[in-house]
Amino acid sequence: MDVALGNRYRQGSQERRGALAPSPMPSSFARSMLFLLLVACRTHEVPHHDPDDPDDPVVEETPPSPTFPDASAAGSEPDGVGAFTFTGVRPRNLLMISIDTTRRDMFTRYRSDAGPLPFLDGLMAEGVVLDHHASCSAWTLPGAMCALTGNRPDQLGLLPRVDGTDDLQRLPADSPTFSSRLADLGYRTFLLQSNLYFDESYLAGEYEYSGGGNEDAAAMVTDALRIIGDSGIGDGDPWMFHLHLSDPHSPYAPPMAYRSALADRPRLDWDLTTSDGSREVSEAWDELDAKTRDEVLAQLQILYEGELSYVDDQLARLLGVMDNAGLLDDTLVLVWTDHGEQMFEHGSLGHGGSLFAQENDGVAFWWARGLEPAAVSDLTTNEDLLPTTFFALGLPAPEGVTGLVAGIPSNRIRLAYLWPSEEVPVLSAQSGSDQLYYTFAGRTWLFDRDTDPEQQSDRYDPTDPVVAELWDALLPVVGDVAALSGEEPLGAGR
């Protein structure tokens, strides 16, 4: 893996990453003027660009960063189940950052070398982290639906299908969601997204401002800062701002400065920075020799980590400006991912095709001033983000959700579903390290996630008591999914 790009940011900004100290809250007028000045400066530093144009200039300076903890502290959190303990006043505002298509092993905490996300690594080291987290699916729409409602789609009578177009895709407009629940409690709510599936037409919600488009992280962060400055956030009422960034999604085409390691690599027959190139190399994969496969994987890794390094720098810019304006003094930051990404570990490139760990595993953590670091070791899922965040903010427990408050011990069996395009549904159930994997075509596996993290060794035995326990939890979901999809579940329970 190419770690130079991740280290480039760390080396350029470590000296500015001391502990965050509370800063006086500026007046409304002063804060608005500060935002206008800071946004203008940073807009000049990181102009919008076309990542597919090799002649498009990209500013290579490291953006200013806030004084967040050094990423070298990652991994120093206390052992055991984490609860939300604050030193000082509990925060009341929420900055929610969701990132598309991000593999768990991109964070230094979950790999043996330094990853491409030093800024987020630093935040994670100072936060409450869900160390065994997964999405409830391996595709954006159901994964986000879980996070924003606290329920799996099938529990809501919905069953989004990859590339599907029917009514099973969309939440009814009056569905209670993260934003509508907070709005009912007097919050001002804002959404800026670069993935249409987060729009109210799919995920409902109630927002004072909702917008977005297919823009890169620099443009999205600049837009977010303008909206924050124009709206007068922080003047009195509590607020929630949700920013979703899609840059790591394929095709992987980071700015030129974030793919410089490709200069020393041999030229391939496919342009991996384009959708066509990614599709063509996927179609050719089974016929490639080992040397070519290794080279394809190496270059995909450079491009993918470059996308994430770019996102990391832009999030450092966002939080740096907000910190300078005093807006992080009373704010809980939630970072989560909608799903992961497979890189041919099971024969495919991308996501939305399986529930294997590379596609289904997720990342989630919270950070705030005065929040004591903690690690939650229980199995968690995106359904838990809503009730856990309400718990952390000291808000009334949301009704009608099946998600649990992370950090309160449970013996839950974690469930997930996926309905791939032009294929039958896929489901999984996990208890401890044992994960049952089932497709409606009748194929079943059992994996031990501790001894076989890549899920390459099937140990399914229908006489195993663990298998029986997992089937007991999964069969009701199989029935619900069969009723919603109209597909026949072959061999379920055997």
For residue 243, list its beta bridge partners.
Answer: 97, 192
Taking the C-alpha atoms of residue 90 and residue 427, their distance in angstroms, rounded to an integer, is: 38
Say whether 416 sits in a helix, a strand or coil: strand
**Tell me: the pLDDT tens digits for 196-222?**
898 888 999 999 999 987 789 999 999
470: left (phi over 0), alpha (psi -120 to 50) or beta: alpha
Which DSSP letter does residue 80 get?
S
Taking the C-alpha atoms of residue 22 and residue 370, their distance in angstroms, rounded to an integer, is: 10
Phi, psi angles (nearest 5°) of residue 379 = -70, 130
| Amino acid at site 476 | P
Taking the C-alpha atoms of residue 48 and residue 371, their distance in angstroms, rounded to an integer, is: 35
pLDDT for 494: 80
Whether 335 contacts 119, CB under 8 Å:
no
Structure tokens of 130?
Answer: 């869900």
pLDDT for 448: 97
pLDDT for 270: 96
Which DSSP letter does residue 215 get?
-
Peptide bond into 251 cis (omega under 30): yes
Taking the C-alpha atoms of residue 130 and residue 128, their distance in angstroms, rounded to an integer, is: 7
**pLDDT under 50 in the chain at which residues?**
1-52, 54-82
| Amino acid at site 21 | A
pLDDT for 40: 43
- What's the Cα-to-Cα distance from 183 to each of 28, 156, 187, 384, 423, rounded to whole Å? 22, 21, 5, 20, 39
Whether 369 contacts 327, CB under 8 Å:
no
Taking the C-alpha atoms of residue 48 and residue 408, their distance in angstroms, rounded to an integer, is: 44
Structure tokens of 254?
Answer: 């980071």
In this structure, the number of other CB atoms found within 10 A of the CB of residue 47 comes to: 13
Q: State whether the Cα torsion 59-64-68-69 is positive or negative.
A: positive
pLDDT for 196: 83
Model confidence, pTM? 0.85
Whether 51 contacts 216, CB under 8 Å:
yes
Nearest to 374 by CA among 178, 82, 10: 82
426-431, strands of its sheet edge to edge: 414-418, 426-431, 434-439, 444-448
pLDDT for 357: 95
